[in-house]
Each structure stands twice: as structure tokens, then as C-alpha cells.
């Protein structure tokens, strides 16, 4: 499956950085179908990077990977994969996507994100504080914050972590 990850990342598209992400949809789908938790987490990260601005693309990726659509609240879509769940806003305005897993801690999740961004040659990555927790400034108003999973997140957890992507509102 390492070859699949390398192939997926090698074939990434270079799209304009203003509102799109340098990731091809099939790359996310292949990883979302992965046999390991790490592959599925990587796929969810890629789908969330797309879903922040283009929820329909994220939804297409989760559906193509046979993730199960879960209950949703008004304006959100949720999908469940093996060991990973994802939720993103689709109305009235996109701008948020989150993945959660009980099988990874915040540090390991941030390391996975950083490794993927490096392989994608992501143009801007810097440190930022998000609601009192360390996060990443991904440029163009996009941030990523690893936290504990659940409704009352803390800044770190040894397991049960979440990664929240959010676009600053204009």
C-alpha cells in the first residue's frame, strides 16, 4: 500500500492555491479505501482539504470509498469509515471539515498531516494558535488544529484525536 500512497501523492494536481487544493480526487478515494488506519486517516485528510472549499468533492470521495453516511445536523454531512469519521459543512457556507479517530493521538495525527503536506509540496505552513491550542496556518485563510476527539476537545490526547480544518470567514 506504500506504493499506492506514493502513486497517489506523485499524481497530485497543481491547482490554484486561492480556493482549491493541490490534490486529485482519486488520490483521496484510494487512500480512504486503504487497508490500514493510517491510510484511511491520510485519505480523510486529503478529502477534508478538498471539502473545506468544495464539500461536493469530499462527499463524492467518501461515497466512492464506500464510507457510510451518518446522521447529520442541518448544514453538515458526516461519513463513517473503518476507525475514522469525518464531518464537513455544506450549507449555507462551506469552510469546515473535521476527521476523528479513536486509534491515533494528536501528536501522531499532526505528524501525518505534516508528512502529507510535505509530500504535496504545500506552499505555506506555519504555526498558529487556534482557541488556545497549537495549530497550523496552511495559508490563504486555512488552518488545521489537532485536538482530542469529542464535544469538549482539549489541546492534546494520547488517543481519540481529531483534526479540524477551517477557512477564515470573509
Question: In the beta sheet, which residues pair with residue 84?
Answer: 81
Instruction: Answer yes or no: pTM beyond 0.85.
Output: no
What string of pLDDT tens digits covers the 170 residues of the chain? 444 333 333 333 333 343 455 555 558 999 999 999 999 999 999 999 988 988 999 999 999 999 999 877 888 899 999 999 999 998 778 899 999 999 999 999 999 999 999 888 888 678 998 888 999 999 989 999 999 998 889 999 999 999 999 998 76
Are the C-beta atoms of 20 and 58 separated by less than 8 Å? no
The domains of the chain are located at 2-167
Surface-to-core class of residue 40, CB atoms within 10 Å of its CB (0-12 exposed, 13-18 middle, 19+ buried): buried
Contacts of 96 (CB under 8 A, 6+ apart): 52, 88, 89, 164, 165, 166, 167
pLDDT of residue 73: 81
Amino acid at each position: 500500500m506504500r506504493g499506492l500512497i506514493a502513486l497517489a501523492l506523485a499524481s497530485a494536481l497543481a491547482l490554484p492555491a486561492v480556493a482549491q487544493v493541490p490534490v486529485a480526487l482519486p488520490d483521496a478515494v484510494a487512500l480512504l479505501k486503504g487497508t490500514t488506519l493510517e491510510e484511511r486517516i491520510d485519505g480523510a485528510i486529503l478529502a477534508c482539504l478538498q471539502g473545506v472549499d468544495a464539500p461536493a468533492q469530499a462527499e463524492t470521495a467518501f461515497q466512492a470509498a464506500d464510507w457510510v453516511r451518518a446522521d447529520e445536523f442541518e448544514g453538515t454531512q458526516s461519513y463513517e469509515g473503518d476507525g475514522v469519521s469525518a464531518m464537513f459543512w455544506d450549507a449555507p457556507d462551506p469552510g469546515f471539515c473535521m476527521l476523528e479517530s479513536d486509534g491515533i493521538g494528536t501528536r501522531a495525527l499532526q505528524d501525518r498531516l505534516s508528512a502529507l503536506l510535505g509530500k504535496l509540496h504545500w506552499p505555506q505552513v506555519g504555526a498558529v494558535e487556534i482557541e488556545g491550542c497549537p495549530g497550523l496556518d496552511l495559508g490563504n485563510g486555512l488552518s488545521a488544529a489537532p485536538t482530542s476527539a469529542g464535544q469538549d476537545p482539549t489541546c492534546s490526547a494520547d488517543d481519540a484525536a481529531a483534526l479540524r480544518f477551517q477557512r477564515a470567514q470573509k
